[in-house]
Amino acid sequence: MAVLGHTGFIGRSIVRAIASDGGHIQPVSAPRIRELAQPDPSESVRSWSLAHAGAVTRLSRRLEGADVVVNAAGVARPGGSDREELEGANAILVGVVSRAAREAGVRRIVHVSTAAVQGRCDPLDETATYDATTPYARSKMLGEVIILDRAVRTPDEVAVYRPTSVQGIDRSITKTLVWLAGNRLVPLFGPGEQPVPTALVDNVGAAVSHLVTTVRCPPVALHPWEGLTTRGLLEAFGARHFVHLPLPAARIADRIFSRGGSQLPRLEALSRRLELLAFGQELNAVALAQCGYTAPTGTDGYRLLAESIRGGG
């Protein structure tokens, strides 16, 4: 199988998982696209493909012989504001890869998106309901629309995978949470029993590997809840003593950040993280479970991750 974005944070975990499952990996470099998406994003794919026919042909040749293509390529900058960079890499590229895969005779494409396309929707689910609140989330949403609407040529089987907030040793948000959990008193809004949509990067890789091989190919698969509440996540990262803060205070802070975030994507991304820690978010994720997927790593994986970060590993 061919994997685009194999050197990225999530891409590396996908490669490890596929190799562990005995799959043969064909790493493929994705073309660089920097361009605003048109109102009809599929038209952007067609115009770029026409203007860069040679690049599309070369990509298609690299994909020949692959039964499945995993697209983990893109720009992962939740606080980014460069729309040309984001929409080129996270939207137009999706359609270009899909077209090239179809021309190469690929049977299935698994596209790695993000749960951020649904923003503040509660619960997060596996529908085409969107609430993209940042340029990054909007670019990922456009990528989904392009491939799910099949307005461009696609392989016969299409699966869009939406990981939730991914935790790993290379993530700044993970390091921040581990630092927060290491304080003598850790702030916690309310009782902290709200489910938090988070995922270990190794579980994300395993989910994609499962979508590569499963007989039943769901059109959209949201990463399932890994069983952690806001309090449970902080405890897994090492928190022992909490100072409980009233939820109304979190709502006031969230409204302030949200208003500023409408103009500043980085502030909006910070607002979303505060909101998730304060209020959590329900998930209605069934597709992967119905396909037989179970996360290989449980809560102990979060503990080991925190220990590795604190140890400088």
User: Tens of pLDDT along 128-155?
Assistant: 999 998 899 999 999 999 999 988 999 9
Query: Mapping DSSP to helix (H, G, I), strand (E, B) and coil, where does residue 188 land?
Result: strand
3-state helix, strand, coil in the chain (%, to 5): 50, 15, 40
- The mean pLDDT value for 69-76 works out to 96
Cα–Cα distance, 217 to 174 (Å, whole number) = 31
The pLDDT confidence band at residue 249, using thresholds 50, 70 and 90, is low
Query: Residue 236 in contact with residue 306, Cβ under 8 Å?
Result: yes
Lowest mean pLDDT among 79-93, 183-197, 286-300: 183-197
Residue 264: its pLDDT value, please? 52
Question: What is the reported pLDDT for 247?
Answer: 72
Task: Say if residue 56's pLDDT is above 80.
Answer: yes
**156-166 residue pLDDT tens:** 999 999 999 99
Nearest residue to 98 via CA among 39, 23, 48: 48
pLDDT value at 292 more than 70 = yes
Q: What is the pLDDT of residue 224?
A: 97
The stretch 169-198 carries a mean pLDDT of 90
Q: Which of 218, 91, 208 is nearest to 145 (CA)?
A: 91
What is the full DSSP assignment across 104-125?
TT-SEEEEE--GGGGTT-SSB-
pLDDT tops 80 at residue 39: yes
Give dist(CA 96, CA 109) in Å, integer.
Answer: 12
Cα distance between residue 100 and residue 155, in whole Å: 9
Tell me what pLDDT residue 259 has: 55
Number of other residues whose CB lies within 10 A of the CB of residue 57: 13
| CATH (residue range 2-168+197-227+282-297) | 3.40.50.720
Least confident of 127-131, 273-277, 298-302: 273-277
| Per-residue confidence (pLDDT) for residue 89, from 0 to 100 | 96
Q: Say which residue the tokens 């137009």 belong to.
A: 92
For all residues of the chain together, what is the average pLDDT? Answer: 91
Q: 123 phi and psi, to 5 degrees?
A: -85, 160
Locate the domains of the chain by residue range. Answer: 2-168+197-227+282-297, 172-194+229-279
At residue 276, the pLDDT reads 74
